[in-house]
């Protein structure tokens, strides 16, 4: 009598190959390593903070989260145009301030008729920023010493910055890092800070 070729409910036991196990552990190890490295990079190189107030509008908005590169200024120094994050006068109890570097060490800064002058020359095109109603301490020429920076908010008439006596020039040691990119808010999603 021949073998019956109908339905068979016999299941062969499948063996898990050692190659499959190695592949699974390889993937798990890769994912865990990636998570660990991302955490280390963010912890050692960067941090996040929130914009407080309207002083950096229209580029950065109140409540917007930004990523700060804390490593870059260990290799380089801030340059004019950089958006920096700092603690005013190193005050650990203050919130982080976010402002744009207008002048650096060795520069002479003064605000004349609402416009910023650096080393005796106008530093603004007039179309980028509003005329400043208050010159603050920059009504008289300020010579920046080594490691000192003059910072301003982009929204010049709604900014507490180096013009204010309680902020003044910012020492390099008080700069936490460079504002690198924004993570949320302002209606334009994620993007690098200009």
Q: Give the E-state strand segments of 65-140 in sequence order.
A: 65-69, 83-86, 97-103, 108-112, 115-118, 121-122
Nearest to 70 by CA among 147, 146, 175, 148: 175
Active-site residue flag, 162: no
List the catalytic residue out of 3, 11, 15, 55.
Answer: 55
Backbone angles phi, psi at 30, to 5 degrees: -60, -45
Structure-token pair, residue 125:
């095109």
Sign of CA dihedral 133, 135, 139, 143: negative
Residue 54, φ and ψ in degrees, nearest 5: -110, 15
Other C-beta atoms closer than 10 Å to the C-beta of 115 total: 16
Pick the catalytic residue from 3, 13, 26, 99: 99
Residue 99 annotated in active site? yes
What residues are labeled active site?
55, 99
């Amino acid at each position: 009598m021949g073998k019956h070729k109908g339905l068979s409910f016999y299941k062969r036991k499948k063996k898990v190959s050692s190659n499959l196990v190695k592949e699974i552990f390889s993937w798990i190890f890769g994912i865990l390593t990636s998570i660990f490295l991302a955490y280390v990079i963010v912890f050692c190189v960067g941090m996040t903070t929130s914009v407080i107030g309207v002083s950096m509008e229209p580029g950065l908005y109140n409540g917007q989260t930004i990523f700060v590169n804390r490593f870059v200024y260990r290799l380089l120094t801030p340059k004019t145009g950089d958006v920096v994050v700092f603690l005013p006068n190193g005050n650990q109890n203050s919130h982080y301030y976010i402002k744009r570097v207008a002048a650096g060490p060795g520069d002479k800064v003064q605000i004349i008729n609402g416009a910023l002058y650096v080393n005796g020359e106008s530093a603004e095109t007039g179309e980028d920023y509003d005329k400043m109603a208050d010159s603050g301490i920059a009504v008289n020429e300020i010579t920046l010493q080594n490691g000192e920076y003059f910072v301003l908010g982009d929204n010049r008439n709604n900014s507490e910055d180096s013009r204010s006596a309680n902020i003044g020039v910012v020492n390099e040691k008080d700069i936490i890092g460079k504002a690198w990119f924004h993570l949320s808010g302002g209606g334009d999603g994620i993007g690098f800070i200009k």
